[in-house]
Amino acid sequence: MAVPVFRFAPSPNGFLHLGHALSALMNFEMARRMRGRFLLRIEDIDRTRCRPEFEAAIYEDLAWLGIEWEEPVRRQSDHMDAYRAALERLEAQGLLYPSFESRAEIARLVAERERTAGPWPRDPDGAPLYPGRAFAMDEAERRRRIAAGESYALRLRMGAAIARAGPLSWRETGAGPAGETGEIAAAPAAWGDVVLARKETPTSYHLAVVVDDAAQGVTHVVRGQDLFAATSIHRLLQALLGFAAPQYRHHRLVLGADGRKLSKSTKATALRELRAQGVTPAEIRRLIALG
Ligand code: GLU
């Protein structure tokens, strides 16, 4: 059998917290047990929120936990060409269209619809589905607005993409938020016409993660349950781009004292804050209930 490949893929937009420790340690230890490889990937496509000091802190915190990773580390900002190429392949299949509304305009459109027609559908993350009609815009107008330098988001024609890919599923060895496990049927329609790129960035999280997992030969994706629903989009993009599907293990989230998902902005659960207080890596494992 091929060597299993695991990865931990944090974004350097804040300090790692206890939830990241659980994810990183699970990946690292599963890779060890299965005599596989463990990769670290820096997900830094959002240049406005990522900072070099957070990236440096990721290396420091992981090393302190006793985690070792292969070099070189893949940094997403170094691979914009790969994302652009994937985007072009989707474009060539006629599966993308630009939409020109700003986030504020989208919020206004949704509010308007809700006034007349009741609750507007939301995606699994709670964001309203795209309410605009840019998919029906004629080609000449699209070209004119792009040439005029307008901002736009490139969206996936979800209906057409699903029709092309056919039914999809993935093997889940962990569990979704409602205990879903085993062979899971992908349900990407719930996400509507997702944004895959913007004028100034040739990718989104969804596209980059799929391209990178394929480029790095990742066979096992182990990550938090908060990304369970997004796996449906990832399976769809893998199918459209001809990539093999890894198996997935979504793990429980580490919750704060308030019972909510941890945030990178909470100091109390940041690994470096705990370390500064004299907490040891062994105590971190106890805090996240990792045997
Ligand atoms: N970069 C994502 C995050 O920090 C994780 C991506 C993944 O594991 O697929 O939440």
Enumerate domains of the chain plus CATH numbers. Answer: 1-78+254-291 (3.40.50.620)
Report pLDDT for 257.
Answer: 80
**pLDDT value at 123 more than 80:** yes
Of 62-71, 109-118, 207-216, the least confident: 109-118
In sequence order, which ranges of the chain are alpha helices (DSSP H)? Answer: 18-33, 52-64, 80-92, 103-117, 139-147, 158-165, 205-215, 231-241, 271-276, 281-287
**Cα(273) to centroid of ligand 1, in Å?**
22
- Among 54, 170, 209, which residue has the most ligand 1 atoms within 8 Å of its CB, making it the best to mutate? 209
| pLDDT mean over 105-113 | 94
**pLDDT value at 181 more than 90:** yes
Report pLDDT for 139.
Answer: 94
| 269: confidence class by pLDDT, cuts 50, 70, 90 | confident
**Cα(252) to centroid of ligand 1, in Å?**
14
Report yes or no: 38 and 70 within 8 Å, Cβ to Cβ: yes
**Cα(34) to centroid of ligand 1, in Å?**
22
Report yes or no: 233 and 194 within 8 Å, Cβ to Cβ: yes
**pLDDT value at 30 more than 80:** yes
| Rounded Cα distance, 222 and 244, in Å | 16
Mean pLDDT of the chain: 95
| pLDDT mean over 81-95 | 98
**pLDDT value at 117 more than 80:** yes
Report pLDDT for 47.
Answer: 87
Nearest CA to ligand 1 atom 10: 10
**Cα(23) to centroid of ligand 1, in Å?**
10
Nearest CA to ligand 1 atom 3: 10
Token readout for 215 is: 């480029």
**Cα(209) to centroid of ligand 1, in Å?**
8
| pLDDT mean over 157-185 | 98
**pLDDT value at 202 more than 80:** yes
Report pLDDT for 105.
Answer: 94
| 99: confidence class by pLDDT, cuts 50, 70, 90 | very high
Bridge partners (DSSP) of residue 183 are: 171
Report yes or no: 160 and 136 within 8 Å, Cβ to Cβ: no
**Cα(11) to centroid of ligand 1, in Å?**
7
The values of phi and psi at residue 289, to 5°, are 55, 45
Quick one: which atom of ligand 1 is closest to the CA of 10? 4
Report pLDDT for 1.
Answer: 65
In the chain, pLDDT over 90 holds for what percent of residues?
A: 90
Nearest CA to ligand 1 atom 7: 9
Nearest CA to ligand 1 atom 6: 9
Quick one: which atom of ligand 1 is closest to the CA of 223? 8
- Among 8, 30, 43, 235, which residue has the most ligand 1 atoms within 8 Å of its CB, making it the best to mutate? 43
**pLDDT value at 289 more than 90:** no
Ligand 1 neighbours (beta carbon < 6 A): 9-11, 43, 209, 223, 227
Report pLDDT for 185.
Answer: 98
